[in-house]
Chain A
């Protein structure tokens, strides 16, 4: 048992559901007790999703515990099959229901006989993997299932497209700026003359997975989700993949060069020169390289920063800060413990120390020890920063509603470099602003002129009234005080007690 207040990565079933619900025509059935299906709320509220979430809970209750859940699960599967007519149904337990050790595979087999859609069981150990690992596994499982099925039915398209094309693997729901990154990647590939074959799973259709093998290569922008699927496609169908995350000027260029190598390997005759494009984008289209050279960025040289997040974003950010902006990264860290080796290798030489942990208290201790000028981390680090009065830019999941902006804010590609430069600059500068204002005597040099007439009210407040007033949240207190005093004045009441306050509320709605 461990005492936990906060976790960076969610439980495994969330990863499975994120992948399943990203596809266009997949329905997921959660075998779980009441209340475990908060995923639907997260997706609807954080991503402001307009459609109903294609996840149904097959409720585990006392009846189910007593009699076994076979009938109920099978019935729910066949019911959803008729109601929603999906192409694929994915059954997943949660940590709780997995303890029941029911033979879910058996239920899936039975349900398959009666339903039109395919039914599979998400094959994930809920106590050994977290959200990200489960998502990776489920994506691979769904791709493998569909591709194998297509192969058996002789409809698998292994003939490559005439012009270069790519699949993008790993864009999915509730991902950190995934939608924006996807747009930017499409633009980038388009600029390079590469057409998009399939994007999986976001908006992808199960029916089209048989076309995956038509593409020349796979692009896996985020290390956490998509690698297993890419490896499968490489091992079974010799499809190469690009695993370099195009984040930051240098790594975007590296990614493009890697793509270029792969394209030329597949077809040595093809005209494919990327150096000019890279140079043009780097020096003139993206503003980030110019920003690094500009004189107010010089002031950032040598400033201390701390970076923490998922492996992909934390590693990339560390490299950007150190290499492209001359900032000293005192500590770089990640909560993706299973990827520690890769992470260390990536940030080697770009930071002073490395912290691999999923315990946020250790991260907080490290930050308060180092006292950086800025933090680049997750929402948890943002709150640590607030407590310690250190500015923080958010660069990674776990997510908050703020990380689903309506405007276009990618982290990848050349537009991403601009966004990142803005984020870095604002984080350091606004922090400086606050310090300067403090040094020079505060934000307001004039006494605030209030609109209240309470000085002329002629009312006094009884001790219990004052105590009650204090309980009202600060941002509303002034208004309540004024309204109550107005009410009292109109009725010639001189002392305001708790009862008068409530009476005022009833009449004025204060």
Chain B
């Protein structure tokens, strides 16, 4: 058992292994829904298209505002003029769907053949009179949710610098970035309003026309851990000031996030501690199922640190946190909170492994026998067949997990395998492979 010595600080390793996560173009699945007047054109090959077709599932039949610009052999061998081809496709999209913005998603293929999307886009935009935003969400550089990061970073350029009313220039304002379902965004807005802070805008906004004003008077704060590129783009290109805080996942994270924003705006937070305590009380029935249990994150959606921190606060022991990529600066507040939480809850610091090797992790899971493994869909079923409780991680990306209001939803997901398998326990259906 590895509950041996309590290390005082977190240790980071990089396994540079073979791990599974989804392609960053998967961000199209939720971004096209969030930005209601957008159209996403993914420029790639059959492999990309087939992936999105399977990832979108039945939604592909609902005529989503997305299409593949499928590169064929003639495109790859530079026999066709790519500008002309893209123009033809964009005109067709404009005619069929009339979006307010077309987002070109570059893929690994466009990277390798060095297609100059950023060069062609402005020209084409002028010609067809529809804004075109270029985001390179490719698997060579990014993993899964970082696709959203590249799209938002690209959209930063399109945000206006000044509000129409000039007298707002001197005032400090707050813009939040990260894609959330609108009702969750509203919930967070309300929390801040209660503290007396108005949110000036969100990136991304529900409509392209409503992108927030960004300038040196704007304070920006992210709501998801994988948005480091957007953060740096906001700081460098638009001179915004970044508020670094733990992420509003779980009541502890939400309170810390709100407190940090309040402190930057010189406002005293009202009632937050009491609010947090009430939420914790309401979660007690789920927490009772988790207390003292161990969890292993194989890692794929970059939410792992925040989720782990919340689960430690719920009384779980985290053995290992696998994560495709960790920006230590952007996540510094979250990492500090994780350390603090571990020492307050008196548990060992988890091992943080960047770019893990899935095969080695499976061996470690076999040895450690955690009570719960949070893993991707490539490994969940095989692990369940071998008696390990699993929770498939992708659900955290699509469920509503931010804010005080949704804390219970996270625990509903985390406890579900434990509750279900407890019910099956008496039937003896644990080992479903012949050993």
Residues of A within 8 A of B (CB): 1-7, 10-14, 33-38, 40-42, 44-45, 48-53, 56-62, 65, 76, 83, 94-96, 99-100, 126-128, 130, 380, 383, 386, 468, 471, 498-499, 502, 505-507, 509
Contact = CB atoms under 8 A, between A and B. Distances in A.
Contacts, number: 175
A10 B50 contact: yes
A36 B20 CA distance: 9
A180 B248 CA distance: 49
B139 A36 contact: yes
6 contacts: A3-B93, A5-B66, A49-B382, A50-B433, A60-B140, A99-B76
A35 B22 contact: yes
Interface string B342-366: 0000000000000000010010000
Interface in B51-94: 51, 53-55, 58, 60-61, 63, 66-73, 75-76, 80, 82, 85-86, 88-89, 92-93
Given A7-B53, A127-B76, A468 B21 contact: no
B198 to A, nearest CB: 16
Given A99-B112, A509-B412, 20 more contacts: A2-B69, A2-B72, A4-B70, A5-B67, A5-B68, A7-B49, A34-B142, A35-B21, A35-B22, A35-B23, A41-B376, A60-B140, A61-B140, A95-B46, A96-B47, A127-B72, A471-B183, A498-B186, A502-B190, A506-B282
A94 B235 CA distance: 38
A258 to B, nearest CB: 36
Nearest to B63: A5
B273 to A, nearest CB: 16
A370 B141 CA distance: 48
B149 to A, nearest CB: 15
B143 interface: yes
B18 A94 contact: no
A131 to B, nearest CB: 8
A40 B382 CA distance: 11
B108 interface: yes
Interface in B363-388: 376-382, 385
B330 interface: no
A35 B24 contact: yes
For the complex of A and B, list the 4 residue pairs with the smallest distance between their C-beta atoms, beginning with the closest: A35-B23, A40-B378, A33-B139, A11-B46
B404 interface: yes
Contacts of B24: 35
B124 to A, nearest CB: 13
- Count chain B CB atoms within 10 A of each CB in A5, A38, A128 and give the residue with the most: A38
A65 B109 CA distance: 12
Contacts of B80: 1
Max count, chain B CB within 10 A of own CB: residue among A6, A33, A34, A502: A34
A38 B51 contact: yes
B405 A96 contact: no
A509 B69 CA distance: 43
Given A65-B112, A99-B112, A1 B85 contact: yes
A173 to B, nearest CB: 14
B279 interface: yes
A52 B385 CA distance: 10
Contacts of B377: 41, 44-45
B109 A99 contact: yes
Contact of B20 (A37, A49, A499): A37
A52 B404 CA distance: 38
B97 to A, nearest CB: 11
A418 B46 CA distance: 37
Contact of A100 (B50, B112, B139, B186): B112
Contact of A44 (B362, B382, B432): B382
A471 B45 contact: no
Contacts of A380: 61
B85 to A, nearest CB: 4
B77 to A, nearest CB: 9
Given A2-B72, A59-B18, A61-B141, A49 B47 contact: no
Given A11-B47, A35-B139, A498-B186, A56 B23 contact: no
Given A1-B85, A33-B139, A94 B282 contact: no
A33 B18 contact: no
